[in-house]
Structure 1
Amino acid sequence: MHLANNLKYLRKKMGKTQGTLSSDMGIGRTTIANYEAGISEPNVVTLHAFAKYFGVSLDDLLSNNMESGERDDKKSDEKDKALRGAFAAPPPAIYSSMPRVVTVDNEGNDNIIYVPVKARAGYLLGYGDAEFMESLPTFRLPGLSNATYRMFEVDGPSMAPNILHGDRIIGEWVEKLEDIRDNRVYVIVHSGGVAVKRLVNRLSQRGKLYLKSDTIVHRHDFPTVEIDPADIKEVWYGRMKISSDFSEPAEVYERLANMEMDIEEMKRKMGK
């Protein structure tokens, strides 16, 4: 298939930048870059939109090397079916045993990439884009080695009081979805977004994962969500929480502290 090269060739032929094409098509610039690099492929609706935008046929866009003018006669059965007007949906994504992009330090050790809330939308589109990933902050921490880690900023109250808005979760890459353990905290990157949740693994029984929130106060706003494995991009097992919250103790602890102070005061008076 010549799709990636053809998109890049046609864009340049029209004098368009990736940013301009992104604006014209209503598609993220990172997504355009991924298409041109062959990292990901557009769905059938987007394919037809590209063909219409560039004024070419879907056959030419997919099957011909438009830059050299050479026709590729070695089409697969699936491609023939697509060009007859029955373009099949892509097969479900296969979960990878490694992240698509990692960054390393000067000694070749994996960095921990930090994904703040403001970068979440870009991360969802660019988690496989090396250029985007290299634009995110990186760091290392002692004790976190021999695995691949990533840090995500928590957004919202869905995991309160255990994990608060603005906390940072450092997650370890999960190599197989079957390894997910019930009721542990994970960062899951899926087609609907980036979420910090407790997971319930029912892959063997129902073929699904379930995302649960800890909150009680906002429980009606954060119901349990069912996720299909085909929608999952990344899963990170929560290994560490970094928090700047120094909230006062809960009421029960406050009462206990007051009681202790009262006892100390009584002992002081009795000792006189």
Structure 2
Amino acid sequence: MGDATIFLGSNVKFLRNRQKLTQDALSKELKMTRSKLNCIEIGQTKSPSIEDMLKFSSYFKMSLDTLIKIDLSKLGELRIRDLEAGNDVFIKGGNLRVLAITVDKEDNEHVEYVPIKARAGYQAGYTDPEFIASLPKFSVPNLPKSGTFRIFPTVGDSMLPVPEGSDVVAQYVEDWSSLKPQTLCIVILKNVQDFVFKMVSLQENGRFLLESLNKTYQPYEVKVEEVLEVWKFHSYQSKEIPEVGGDLSDLMREIKEIKKVLGVGSRK
């Protein structure tokens, strides 16, 4: 198998240490000798048998492609947890959190727009190039040249003063651990036929804390393995002018409510 097996031994050692197993303990679990396991880990066995590789794959619940081709020690903690949660990208036929994109004739990335009618299908089609290719595409001026961007419409008032119905331009986040606390993001969740627009903070317990700008909505946590994609807020477009914050805004709102109750200024 040549150079294709370059990461197998180091990955086995990495995963064994991660589970705090000795070579003796793991070799007993896999029904192989400790000396064979040691030779594989240090790279002395250049071409391990298919049977032994399948044992590693079955025990660590990762595909052979992952164990052979991906240097797990170079991945962030969130990605490792994602794999350990059963989201092995090779088993699922995808790439390691690789984004499906479309490009123009000059090989420049499009900015796809996810319309409201496509929100429910995005969860199932976010890795499908054909689905992404079916989305409306735009060229948005003044975006950074590096990075991938997508446009998501907002629904609901949980992110006021960003008006409902705004189109949020967001940048794809590959390394979730790079997010600063309370970063505004579009978050694509598993088993939820929608996406959410929240302030995102990565907790020490490995969960994401999702908070609304509108404080009438309670914050909540989600497991890392429930998150499919994260898009960091860049800008938004809206036909509405956000209300001025502060006491003046509250006072004007109360006056409007009083006028509504009294029928002042209403047209008949």
> TM-score, structure 2 length as denominator?
0.56
Going from structure 1 to structure 2, the CA distance change for 1:94 and 1:190 (only over 3 Å counts) comes to farther
1:248 is displaced (CA, Å) by 6.1
| 1:173 maps onto 2:169 in alignment | no
The residue number in structure 2 matching 1:151 is 151
For 2:148 and 2:84, how far apart are their aligned partners in 1? 27
Note the C-alpha offset of 1:253. Answer: 6.7
Residue type matched to 1:199 in 2?
Answer: V
Cα contact 2:163–2:242 (8 A) shared by 1: no
Partner of 1:141: 140
**Structure 2 residue corresponding to 1:226, chosen from 221, 225, 229:** 221
> C-alpha distance in 2, partners of 1:254/1:158?
17
Equivalent residue for 2:236? Answer: 241
Asked whether 1:252 is paired with 2:245, we answer: no
One-letter amino acid matched to 1:244: K
1:97–1:174 Cα contact (<8 Å) kept: no
| Equivalent residue runs for 1:155-234 within 5 Å | 155-161=155-161, 163-191=162-190, 192=192, 193-202=194-203, 205-216=204-215, 219=216, 222-234=217-229
Quick one: distance in 2 between partners of 1:237 and 1:210? 15
Conserved 8 A contact 2:243-2:249: no
Identity %: 27
List structure 1 runs of 4+ shifted beyond 6 angstroms.
Answer: 94-97, 253-256
CA distance in 1, matches of 2:195, 2:212: 14
Deviation at 1:231, TM superposition (A): 1.3
CA deviations on 1:172-222 (whole Å, 9 max, x unpaired) are 1112010111122101111134110001221xx211110001113xx2xx3
Shift of 1:157: 0.8
Equivalent AA in structure 2 for residue 152 of structure 1: F
Shift of 1:79: 6.8
Matched residue SS, 2:140? coil
CA distance in 1, matches of 2:116, 2:248: 33
Contact kept in structure 2, 1:207 and 1:229, CA below 8 Å: yes
Residue 129 of structure 2 corresponds to 130
Cα distance change of structure 1 residues 156 and 79 upon mapping to structure 2, 3 Å threshold = same
1:43-63, Cα deviation, whole Å (9 max, x unpaired): xxxxxxxxxxxxxxxxxxxxx
Distance 2:171 2:98 in 1: 11
| Cα shift at 1:140 | 1.3
> Contact 1:97/1:176 (CA < 8 Å) preserved in 2?
no
Consecutive unaligned residues of structure 1, counting only runs of 5 or more, are: 1-72, 83-89, 257-272
Deviations 1:200-257 (A, max 9, x none): 221xx211110001113xx2xx32121111111111110111111036656727999x
Provide the aligned length of Structure 1 versus Structure 2: 170
- 1:194 counterpart letter in structure 2: F
Q: Deviations over 1:120-163 (max 9, x none)?
A: 111011001111111110111222122100110001111112x1
Indicate the RMSD between aligned Cα atoms, in angstroms. Answer: 3.1
Q: Which runs of 5+ in 2 are unaligned?
A: 1-49, 62-82, 90-94, 253-268
CA distance 1:230–1:173, change in 2 (3 Å): same
- How far residue 164 of structure 1 moved from its aligned partner, in angstroms, is 1.7
Amino acid at match of 1:121: A
Offset at residue 99 of structure 1 (A) = 4.2
| Distance in 2 of aligned mates of 1:228 and 1:252 | 40
